[in-house]
Amino acid sequence: MSVLEIRDLHVTVDTEEGTTPILNGVTLTLRTGETHAIMGPNGSGKSTLAYTIAGHPKYTVTGGSITLDGEDVLAMTVDERARAGLFLAMQYPVEIPGVTVTNFLRTAKTAIDGEAPSIRTWTKDVKQSMKGLRMDPKFASRNVNEGFSGGEKKRHEILQLELLKPRFAVLDETDSGLDVDALKIVSEGVNRAKEETGLGVLLITHYTRILKYITPDHVHVLVAGRVAEQGGPELAARLEDEGYDRFLEPVVDADA
Ligand SMILES: Nc1ncnc2c1ncn2[C@@H]1O[C@H](COP(=O)(O)OP(=O)(O)O)[C@@H](O)[C@H]1O
Ligand SMILES: [Mg+2]
């Protein structure tokens, strides 16, 4: 079993107006085999948490720690983090002109494993995963994310997840912009990866609907850069009914 441990994490981002604190002490322990949902209103710092785990240079850690089986993740470069078994499916996947899906996947797999995958099993694995995600085989020869629809980009993120087999995956709003059918297909892909490799999943979402297909063991509500409440799946059901209103500061009516 592996453990990803986030302790009292403080993160700032540099903007034109200066340095802004975004995460104000986030603590969370994720074990392989577990699925944790991070929920919260827009702007609460969910993507900031995802990017900080992945090592995006825009975000500065000003306090706290992230460790993977006791190893200091914050001291690792982005590619060291990937080789250590951390994976991020981005909320807004980027286009990579000039790089085909096939080349991208194979290069990533080779970099992470430290050796090229055997051609026969690799080609079979790619085909099978693409089929499972109902991706047209033609995608293999297209440039990464270029001209992909929102749903196709999200499927491509999950294709990477299935093939790269990380120990921990952070899925940042993988459900956003998906219709019900695509949501099911993407969720099934995540569940297949969970069954096959026993990875730990940090499922970031604003809405509860993906949690009908991917059952979380724990739910954390992130508000203003802090975990405001934690619970089991029943907490997600409550958020479905009530929304995030009770966590947000009441708006003061200037005329009152
Ligand atoms: N790169 C950035 N530059 C400027 N502001 C940022 C940046 N990233 C995040 N923020 C700000 O930090 C807050 C949290 O953003 P984010 O982590 O994207 O929230 P969420 O994913 O929960 O919607 C927002 O107010 C956002 O404007
Ligand atoms: Mg976000």
Length of the chain: 256
Quote the pLDDT of residue 250.
67
For ligand 1, the distance from its centroid to the CA atom of residue 251, given in whole angstroms, is: 21
Closest residue by CA, ligand 1 atom 10 = 13
CA 230 to chain centroid: 19
**C-beta 13 within 6 A of ligand 1:** yes
**Residue 221 CA: which ligand is closest?**
1
pLDDT band at 227 (very low <50, low <70, confident <90, very high): very high
Q: Are 140 and 100 in contact (CB under 8 A)?
A: yes
For ligand 2, the distance from its centroid to the CA atom of residue 82, given in whole angstroms, is: 21
- Residues, Cβ < 5 Å to ion ligand 2: 46-47, 91
Is the predicted pLDDT of residue 221 greater than 60, yes or no? Answer: yes
Quote the pLDDT of residue 39.
96
Q: Which of 13, 44, 49, 227 maximizes ligand 1 atoms within 8 Å of its Cβ, making it the mutation to test the pocket?
A: 13
For ligand 2, the distance from its centroid to the CA atom of residue 122, given in whole angstroms, is: 33
**C-beta 48 within 6 A of ligand 1:** yes
For ligand 1, the distance from its centroid to the CA atom of residue 95, given in whole angstroms, is: 21
Is the predicted pLDDT of residue 8 greater than 90, yes or no? Answer: yes
pLDDT digits (tens, 9 = 90+) for 183-217: 999 999 999 999 999 999 999 999 999 999 999 99
**Residue 224 CA: which ligand is closest?**
1
Is the predicted pLDDT of residue 255 greater than 80, yes or no? Answer: no
From the number of C-beta atoms within 10 Å of its C-beta (0-12, 13-18, 19+), residue 77 rates as exposed
Question: How many CB atoms are closer than 10 A to CB 90?
Answer: 20
The rounded mean pLDDT for the chain is: 94
**C-beta 43 within 6 A of ligand 1:** yes
Q: Which residue has the tokens 């093939």?
A: 163
| Pairing between β-strand 143-144 and β-strand 96-100 as defined by DSSP bridges | antiparallel
Quote the pLDDT of residue 251.
63
Quote the pLDDT of residue 240.
87
**C-beta 35 within 6 A of ligand 1:** no
**Residue 175 CA: which ligand is closest?**
2
Closest residue by CA, ligand 1 atom 2 = 13
DSSP character for 73? G
pLDDT band at 248 (very low <50, low <70, confident <90, very high): confident
Mean pLDDT of 36-55: 96
**C-beta 190 within 6 A of ligand 1:** no
pLDDT digits (tens, 9 = 90+) for 73-104: 999 999 999 999 999 999 999 999 999 999 99
**C-beta 47 within 6 A of ligand 1:** yes
Q: What percent of the chain has pLDDT over 70?
A: 97
pLDDT digits (tens, 9 = 90+) for 104-161: 999 999 999 999 999 899 999 999 999 999 999 999 999 999 999 999 999 999 999 9
Is the predicted pLDDT of residue 256 greater than 70, yes or no? Answer: no
Quote the pLDDT of residue 249.
75
Q: Which residue has the tokens 């499916």?
A: 89
Instruction: Kindly tell me the sign of the dihedral angle through the C-alpha atoms of 193, 194, 200, 202.
Output: positive
Position in ligand 1 atom list of the atom nearest CA 45: 17
pLDDT band at 13 (very low <50, low <70, confident <90, very high): very high
State the pTM of this model.
0.94
The CATH fold of domain 3-247: Rossmann fold (3.40.50)
**C-beta 12 within 6 A of ligand 1:** no
Quote the pLDDT of residue 173.
95
